[in-house]
């Protein structure tokens, strides 16, 4: 017959398994890193947005939108040198526009309610921005917006020396 094991007197040893807590900590760290990178897409490049004149306000938290940043030349801010779509940089030439068109068509096919926001420097020539506006509207996006700087005071709309 098996002999029963005697219970020894004294304090019981309690062990705590830290593995689930460490796993949760790393998951939270990864989550915050990924969400902070996604929210920084619009501020990745230094672009001086134009001031609005009689514009319609749009809720910036609308979902289902794509942001296209038009990056100006460092020396001549009126000239666009590249485009930024999320974290990808595209050349501002016919090949880059073709790639942008394909991305827009695929995104609109996947989500017909897609809205497109185009951000360009206030000194960018309209002739540089216009082809991208046409490309975005031709892709079938639900709405295409040219993003401008938000102002609280109408007196801030005019820069020094401008009417």
The overall average pLDDT reported for the chain is: 77
pLDDT at 23: 94
The domain in which residue 135 lies consists of: 46-53+61-146
pLDDT attached to residue 4: 67
Give the residue, 92 or 6, on which the prediction is more confident. 92
* pTM for the predicted model, two decimal places: 0.57
- Tell me if 3 is assigned to some domain: no
70 Cβ neighbours under 8 A, 6+ residues apart: 47, 80, 83, 92, 118, 119, 120, 121, 124, 128, 129, 132
Burial of 86-111, coded b for 16+ CB within 10 Å and e otherwise, reads eeebbebeeeebebbeebbeebbeee
User: Is the model's pLDDT at 17 over the cut of 70?
Assistant: yes
Higher per-residue confidence, 104 vs 149: 104
105 located within any domain: yes
Question: Residue 4: inside a domain, yes or no?
Answer: no
pLDDT band, residue 24 (cuts 50/70/90): very high
* pLDDT, tens digit, 9 for 90 and up, residues 44-92: 556 666 665 555 555 555 567 888 888 888 888 788 888 888 888 888 8
| Residue 88 falls inside a structural domain | yes
The count of domains in the chain is 1
pLDDT of residue 25: 95
In a domain, 78, yes or no: yes
In a domain, 154, yes or no: no
Residue 1: inside a domain: no
17 domain-assigned = no
Residue 19: what pLDDT?
92
């Amino acid at each position: 017959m098996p002999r029963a094991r005697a219970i020894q007197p004294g304090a019981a040893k309690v062990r705590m398994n830290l593995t689930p807590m460490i796993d949760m900590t790393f998951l939270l760290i990864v989550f915050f890193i990924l969400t902070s990178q996604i929210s920084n897409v619009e501020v990745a490049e230094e672009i001086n947005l134009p001031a609005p004149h009689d514009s319609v306000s749009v809720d910036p938290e609308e979902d289902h939108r794509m942001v296209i940043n038009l990056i100006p030349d460092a020396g001549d801010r009126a000239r666009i040198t590249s485009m930024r779509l999320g974290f990808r940089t595209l050349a501002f030439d016919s090949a880059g526009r073709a790639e942008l068109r394909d991305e827009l068509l695929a995104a609109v096919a996947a989500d017909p309610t897609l809205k497109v926001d185009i951000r360009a420097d206030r000194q960018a020539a309209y002739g540089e921005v216009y082809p991208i506006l046409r490309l975005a509207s031709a892709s079938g996006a639900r709405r295409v917006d040219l993003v401008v700087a938000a102002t609280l005071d109408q007196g801030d709309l005019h820069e020094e020396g401008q009417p």
